[in-house]
Every structure is written in C-alpha cells, then in structure tokens.
Amino acid sequence: METPYVITEEQLERENIEITRRYKEMLQNTYVTLSDDDKKLIRKAFDLAVDGHKDQRRKTGEPYIYHPIAVAKIVADEIGLGATSIAAALMHDVVEDTDYTVEDIEKLFGKKIAKIIDGLTKISVLNRQDLSIQSENYKKLLLTLSEDVRVILIKIADRLHNMRTLESMREDKQLKIASETTFIYAPLAHRMGLYNIKSELEDLSLKYTQPEAYRDIEQKLTETKSDREKYINDFCQLINEKLEAEGLEFEIKGRSKSINSIYRKTVSQGIPFEEVFDLFAIRVIYRSDRKNEKFVAWKIYSLITDLFIPNPKRMRDWISQPKTTGYESLHVTVMGPQARWVEVQIRSERMDEVAEMGIAAHYKYKENVSEDDTKVDDWIHQVREMLEQEDTKDAVEFMDNFKFNLYSKEIYVFTPKGDLHSLPKGASSLDFAYSIHSNVGDHCLGAKVNGKLYPLSHKLQSGDQVEIITSTQQKPKLEWLDYVVTSKARSKVKASLNSDKRKVAEDGKEILQRKLRHLKVDYNENIINQLQQYFKLSSSQDIFYNVAMGIIDNNDLRKFAERNTGFTGLINRFRKSTFSTAKKEEIPADKSKLDSLVFGNDEERLDYELASCCNPIAGDKVFGFITVSKGIKVHKVDCPNSVSLQANYAYRIIKAKWIDSSEREFKALIELQGLDRSGMVSDITLVISKNNSLNMHSINLSEDAGIFDGKITVSVKNKAELEKVMAELKAVEGIQSVKRTYKN
C-alpha cells in the first residue's frame, strides 16, 4: 500500500485541510450529544489513524485516511453508534495496514476497543485470503458476534463505503466484491435492521453484477422522476389534510422503491419496468408518547383507509407483533389516484429511528429491559449457538442455512399456554419442538396443531397453537433433516446423528493427511474442497469417515492426485491472464457474427461445456468456471448461480468472450403467453420455421379459459437471431408476452 505518488508541499497542505474538514463533517451530527470524554477519545483515535496511514493512498490516489473517516461517518450518522464505535471505525485498518499492534491499541484505548479492532482485523485478513469457499470466511466473521456485535456493524459500514467507491477497482474485483456483498453483507444489514443500508448495498451490487439492467432502470426512473414526484406530492396532500383535521403531529415522506427491488420484480414476475405497479412508498411518521403509540398508528390507518381502498393481501402489522430485529411499523397498500397502488408505512418517531438505525437504536430504546430479554439479543444468541455447533463445518451449506435465517419471513405460533414463538416461514412442527428445547426436539413424536394430530413434517402457519408430543424412546432420524428448516433444529439433528461418526472421522483425518503426504499432495482447505467434489461428498467429515472406513482407498486417492495436478495447473494457468489489469473487451457491433468462445486475456481456445442452468448462446455476456472434474463450464453473467460462484469460488472464474468463427447452433427456450384464437399455432410455426428458417425442436402449448401458455425450443446461431424471432413472435396477434427462459 506504499504510495508511488510524488506529493508536493502545496498538495499536502491542501489534503491536510481536506482531512480536517472531513473530520469535522464526520462529527457534525453527533457532536452535541457527545461528552467531553467522548470527544477526547474520538480525537485521540483520529490522530493515531492519521499518523498510521500518513504514507498510504487508496486506488484513487487519495490519502487513505479518507476511508476510515468515511466509515466512521457512516457508523455515527447512518447506524447511530456511539463514541467507542466511532473511535474503532477510525482505527479499523491500523493493525492490519500499519506498524501499530493490537497490544498498542489496548495500552492506549483499553481492552474494549482493542477487542473490536482485533475482530475487524481478523475479518480483513480472512477476506484477503484466496480460500476456495469464500463463505468459510464469513462463518468466522459471524463468530465475532459472540464477542461484540459492533464488529459486524462497523464491518457493514466499511463494506458500504467500499461499495460507494468501487469504480476505482478493476472489473474482476468489482464483480467479486459486489457478488460477495449480495451474498452476505446485504443480508446481514437486513438482519441487523439496517434497511436503508441493505437497500443501498443491493443497488450498488446490482450496478456491477447487472450493469445493463441497473442503467436501464436508473434511466427510466430519471425519465419519470417529475411525474412520480408530482403524484407522490398530490397523494401526500390528501393524507396531510385528513390527518391535520384530526390534530395529529406528523411528517410524511414519499419515495420510489429501490432499483434492486424493481429489478427483482421484473425478473420474478417476468414483466417490464412499465408494468411494475407499486413503485411508490409513503411513510407517515407521527409524534406520540409510548403509551399511545399503537392507538395513534391504528387511528392513522383508519383515516387513510377512509380515503383509499386498501389491498387486504398487502396488510402487514408489525406493531402488534414486531419483527425479531425490533422493527415496528404498520404497512398498508392502497389504491391511489389514477388506479395506482401505493404502499403506506405508518410508524412513530421512535419506531422510525429503530427502522433507520436498526440494532443501535434498538439498544438505545431498551430502557430498563435487560439485554437477554430483547428480541434482537435472542436472535444474536441463536446465531452464536448455531455458529458454535461443531457440525457446521460444511461452509457452503452453513451459509445457505444462515442466509435462510437472515432473509426468511416470520410466522408466529402459540404454545398450549398461550406463549408466542417466532419461526421462519416454512418451519415444521419439529422446528417448533427444537425452538422450545433441544431435548423436546430430540424426543419429539408428533404435534397437535389446533387440537388435531399432525406428523413432524407438518408446516406451521401463523396463529397455530401447537402442543408437542414426546417419548423417551424417540431418537433423531436421518429423514428429520428433510423436515427442518431452522439452523438450530438442523444442527441439533446432525449433532445427534454424527456423534459416533465424528469419532471415526477424526482417525480418518490423520490417515488422509498421511496418505496425501505420501502422494506429494499438500493438505489444505483447497484440496479438501476438491476432494469433496471429486468424490461427490457433502462435507469434509464425510471424506475423513470414508477414508477411515476404507470406502476411499489408496487407488482412489492416487487417481484424484493425478487429476488434481491437471486441475491445479489449469487454474494457475489462467489466474494471471484472467485477473490482470487488461482493458475491458469491446463486443463487436454485429452480434450475428459472434459464434465461438475464447478464454483469458490471451483469448485461447479451450474445451468447454455450456452450463445447463442458464443455457448461454452466442452474444451473451459470459464467464468461464473451472470445475474439478468437468473442465470449463460457461455461464451467463446474469445466471442465477453467478453471484454464488463469484462470491464463493472467485479464484476459479476465468474471462470468456464470443468471437467470430465457424458457425454453431445453440438451443434456446422461448416462453409465450397470450389470448388463444384459431390459427395461433400455425402463425407461431410460420414465424419460426418459414420466415426465419429455424429448426424447432419442440412446441408445447396449453389453454385455460381463453389464455394460452407455451414453450418452444429452437436452434439459433446467436443472440441477435434469437432476439429477431422473439420480436416477430411478439407482433403475432394475441401474443401478450415473449421471453427467453431456462426452465422446461
């Protein structure tokens, strides 16, 4: 990180003035609430950070200290943390990047701040390691929750500023960091109640993972900005008059949905931007004491639904039963003027601060409630419990389970005594049993749901009253893993099943290390991951167990070693060419001539397979992924699996591009929908076979109440040819939508 720049005295003076200005701006909103001791602590941390980073520059050429100041500003203003966290944010990189040590920090600032800095340093070091499964890093990252939740909050702030300044990074780094952000940091921000930060992280990630889609939606939002602002103002004026007449104190804020949420709607519903109907969100923030908060919220709800017709399917009451993040709000979607749906969020000033600042504001408003009694603390306790389970060693499975618990919607069920329990949507009776106690889960026979007997696999609904039936003779079974969705239940079932297996696996690990050493293969995490894929096993423990039991013998390991040499060579061959600072490739204007793939900056021709999950065709933006046993698989950059591959296996991604070579045909699946009429099939086949001379492999049309759905598989030479035939199909009378799909 040493600077290659030549800095003049004049430039240095200008930068020092700018550093001081940014420092003052960072404290601008919190200065009046800080004590004199707080201000001294922050100033001391700032001086140390300035000294430590004085010779360092960012990729942009700016002084490195700009970054920790920006992170501290996010921590102070957007997350709402106090002096300890602001000081830690200012120094979050000093141990990793300067001569200062954790011991130095502890001597100068005490154990609390030193512990936070140590946690942040460990995360940064992990993120720079080139591990085969990136999510293993995040398991270790999340373990810091057991020490101090502020480590995670500061790390989220650090990632947010990195995403805001990602333009200075080279393209492959942008894609990796953006994918990583979508994969873990946005879900973490969501679970910490930082909804604004979560939305911004998702939008910024989309900007780099799907740049064309991002720019398209951004442009359309800009083009329609004045119309949307007028509509929101007119809508708010109607509510304003109604609430003022009741003597309420309130503020109304209007906004558009985030770019990422609009993009997800267009993809999930298969509709264009123009057909996304709920682009608007209004927030009514009212003033009230704690005693009357709920009463005022429902009064405002009543007044708004007197003005506009509500959509009963879009009603969300998080005031009567707050989310486990502490989020409280009343959401209602109403039919506004011009028959447009508008979401209205009703919340008090206190609720709004909790919604904006998440976990930090939640602690601020806890008053006399002990930490262990709050919902957020309950969730953190569950996270710690899940992380500390020994059988969560399979990092990818762990992250899948953890993301489910981060993002899943909640249901609320009652015990026979009327106690309320929160579970993720899709949870079974067995999940509920384990949520009560591990022993209840281990001995669960079945459940009475609303007085009726159901099996363990029964999925619960909000409002169910559940009584668990147990037996001392019952023990966890392998099929239970098919019934449970919560991490706690899954880990407890696995722990019971694996207790004996684990002992054997420990011996197997030593045997494997000895055998690999004999074969001159290094024993490390990369090799273990490759062994998992080669032998098609789900965890490292399975490998050790199979080695101990002789299921994997010397011949099997010898074959793996021979194959592994070639695989490692292939990766090493491309890492420099793929991840060098080469300029971005320009795709020729004439897409019809793109019909052959080349790889790396040297544009080498290699054997490859087209991934079946996204079926790329000539002209699509693609990348190569080096598999263990099947060579290079080519995926579209917007493949459903792209983010996961970029986040977890970045070192196995290689650059790929289409060039003009010999002709080759690709299968593409087209999905149609429209109004059925006589002669429709004939007109469709005419467009494909006669007008475009394409080979049609299959056609499947079904009709219901005058509406038809159809899927057609055709062979095309490239993307331009496919787009041409799709445009002609859309012009056929009665056809409402035509899109390319990847699922039969």
CATH number for position 439: 3.10.20.30
**Do the domain assignments include residue 397?**
yes
Same domain for 659 and 685, yes or no, is no
Average pLDDT over residues 684-711: 77
Residues in the chain: 744
Residue in 201, 189, 184 with CA at minimum distance from that of residue 126 = 184
Of 460, 478, 495, the one marking the end of a domain is 495
Of 620, 639, 664, the one marking the end of a domain is 664
pLDDT, residue 665, reads 66
Read off the DSSP letter of residue 627: -
Same domain for 557 and 461, yes or no, is no
Average pLDDT over residues 662-679: 75
SS3 522: coil
**Do the domain assignments include residue 201?**
no
pLDDT, residue 170, reads 85
Q: Which residue has the tokens 């009514």?
A: 284
Residue 138 — pLDDT band, cuts 50, 70, 90? low
First-to-final CA distance of the chain: 51
**Do the domain assignments include residue 322?**
yes
Per-chain mean pLDDT for the chain = 79
Q: Which residue has the tokens 């050429």?
A: 61
The catalytic residue positions are 96-97
Residue 288 — pLDDT band, cuts 50, 70, 90? very high
Q: Which residue has the tokens 């159901």?
A: 454
Which stretch of 56-60, 377-381, 706-710 has the lowest confidence by average pLDDT?
Answer: 377-381
Average pLDDT over residues 146-167: 86
Which stretch of 109-118, 142-151, 222-231, 633-642 has the lowest confidence by average pLDDT?
Answer: 142-151
Average pLDDT over residues 319-348: 86
More confident residue, 313 or 91: 91
Same domain for 160 and 80, yes or no, is yes
Average pLDDT over residues 313-342: 85
pLDDT in tens, 474-525: 888 878 888 888 877 887 888 777 765 777 788 788 888 888 887 778 788 8
Q: Which of the listed ranges 283-297, 485-499, 563-577, 598-612 does the model predict with the highest average pLDDT?
A: 283-297
Q: Tell me the CATH number at 57.
A: 1.10.3210.10
Which stretch of 272-276, 437-441, 546-550, 729-733 has the lowest confidence by average pLDDT?
Answer: 272-276
Same domain for 311 and 230, yes or no, is yes
pLDDT, residue 143, reads 61
Average pLDDT over residues 237-255: 89
Hey, which residues does 348 pair with through a beta bridge?
286
723 pLDDT above the threshold of 50: yes
pLDDT, residue 587, reads 46
Question: What is the C-alpha separation between 41 and 289, in angstroms, rounded?
Answer: 34
* The amino acid at 459: K
Average pLDDT over residues 39-49: 94
Same domain for 381 and 351, yes or no, is no
Residue 360 — pLDDT band, cuts 50, 70, 90? low
pLDDT, residue 168, reads 82
Same domain for 573 and 657, yes or no, is yes
Hey, which residues does 342 pair with through a beta bridge?
280, 334
pLDDT, residue 734, reads 80
More confident residue, 198 or 664: 198
pLDDT in tens, 618-643: 888 888 887 766 778 889 888 888 87
pLDDT, residue 125, reads 58
Phi and psi dihedrals of 319, rounded to 5? -95, -45
pLDDT, residue 507, reads 79
Residue 346 — pLDDT band, cuts 50, 70, 90? very high
SS3 126: helix
Could you give the angle at the alpha carbon of 222 between the alpha carbons of 220 and 226, nearest 5°? 115
pLDDT, residue 47, reads 94
pLDDT, residue 127, reads 55
What sign results for the dihedral spanned by CA atoms 608, 612, 613, 618?
positive
Average pLDDT over residues 354-383: 56
**Do the domain assignments include residue 539?**
no
Residue in 332, 281, 322, 314 with CA at minimum distance from that of residue 193 = 322
717 pLDDT above the threshold of 90: no
Q: Tell me the CATH number at 682.
A: 3.30.70.260
Read off the DSSP letter of residue 273: G
Concatenated DSSP letters for 174-231?
A: HHHHHHHIIIIIHHHHHHTT-HHHHHHHHHHHHHHHSHHHHHHHHHHHHHTHHHHHHH
Question: What is the C-alpha separation between 126 and 123, in angstroms, rounded?
Answer: 5
Which stretch of 91-95, 298-302, 341-345, 678-682 has the lowest confidence by average pLDDT?
Answer: 678-682
Q: Who contacts 581 (Cβ-Cβ below 8 Å, separation ≥6)?
A: 170
Phi and psi dihedrals of 168, rounded to 5? -75, -10
8 Å CB contact between 733 and 683: yes
- Cβ atoms < 10 Å from Cβ of 207: 20
Question: What domain range includes position 673?
Answer: 666-741
**Do the domain assignments include residue 505?**
no
Residue 284 — pLDDT band, cuts 50, 70, 90? very high
8 Å CB contact between 607 and 613: no
**Do the domain assignments include residue 83?**
yes
Q: How many domains does the chain have?
A: 5
Output the six-digit token pair for 525.
């995490």
Q: Who contacts 179 (Cβ-Cβ below 8 Å, separation ≥6)?
A: 205, 209, 642, 643, 644, 645, 646, 647, 650
Hey, which residues does 155 pair with through a beta bridge?
none
Average pLDDT over residues 585-600: 61
Output the six-digit token pair for 337.
């003027």
Same domain for 724 and 620, yes or no, is no
Same domain for 381 and 261, yes or no, is no
8 Å CB contact between 701 and 681: yes
Same domain for 452 and 573, yes or no, is no
Which stretch of 199-213, 302-316, 435-449, 515-529 has the lowest confidence by average pLDDT?
Answer: 515-529
pLDDT, residue 357, reads 76
More confident residue, 473 or 590: 473
Same domain for 353 and 233, yes or no, is yes
**Do the domain assignments include residue 450?**
yes
More confident residue, 387 or 602: 602
Using only C-alpha atoms, the chain has a radius of gyration, in whole angstroms, of 29
Query: How buried is residue 420: exposed, middle or buried, by Cβ count under 10 Å (0-12/13-18/19+)?
Result: exposed
Dihedral angle computed from the Cα positions of residues 431, 432, 435 and 437, in that order, rounded to the nearest 10 degrees: -100
Average pLDDT over residues 671-692: 79
The percent of the chain in helix, strand and coil, each rounded to the nearest 5, is 55, 15, 30
Share of the chain above pLDDT 70, in %: 80
Residue in 690, 730, 689 with CA at minimum distance from that of residue 710 = 730
**Do the domain assignments include residue 213?**
no
Phi and psi dihedrals of 684, rounded to 5? -65, -50
pLDDT, residue 373, reads 40
Q: Tell me the CATH number at 360.
A: 3.30.460.10
Question: What is the C-alpha separation between 368 and 294, in angstroms, rounded?
Answer: 20
Question: What is the C-alpha separation between 185 and 197, in angstroms, rounded?
Answer: 10
452 pLDDT above the threshold of 80: yes
Of 622, 645, 664, the one marking the end of a domain is 664
pLDDT, residue 139, reads 58
CA 709 to chain CA centroid, nearest Å: 32
Same domain for 111 and 24, yes or no, is yes
Query: How buried is residue 6: exposed, middle or buried, by Cβ count under 10 Å (0-12/13-18/19+)?
Result: exposed
pLDDT, residue 320, reads 85
Query: How buried is residue 262: exposed, middle or buried, by Cβ count under 10 Å (0-12/13-18/19+)?
Result: buried
Residue 129 — pLDDT band, cuts 50, 70, 90? very low
Residue in 90, 107, 116 with CA at minimum distance from that of residue 19 = 90
Same domain for 18 and 159, yes or no, is yes
In which element (H, E) is residue 454 found? Answer: strand 452-454
Output the six-digit token pair for 219.
């442009």
Q: Which residue has the tokens 């099996």?
A: 455
pLDDT, residue 144, reads 57
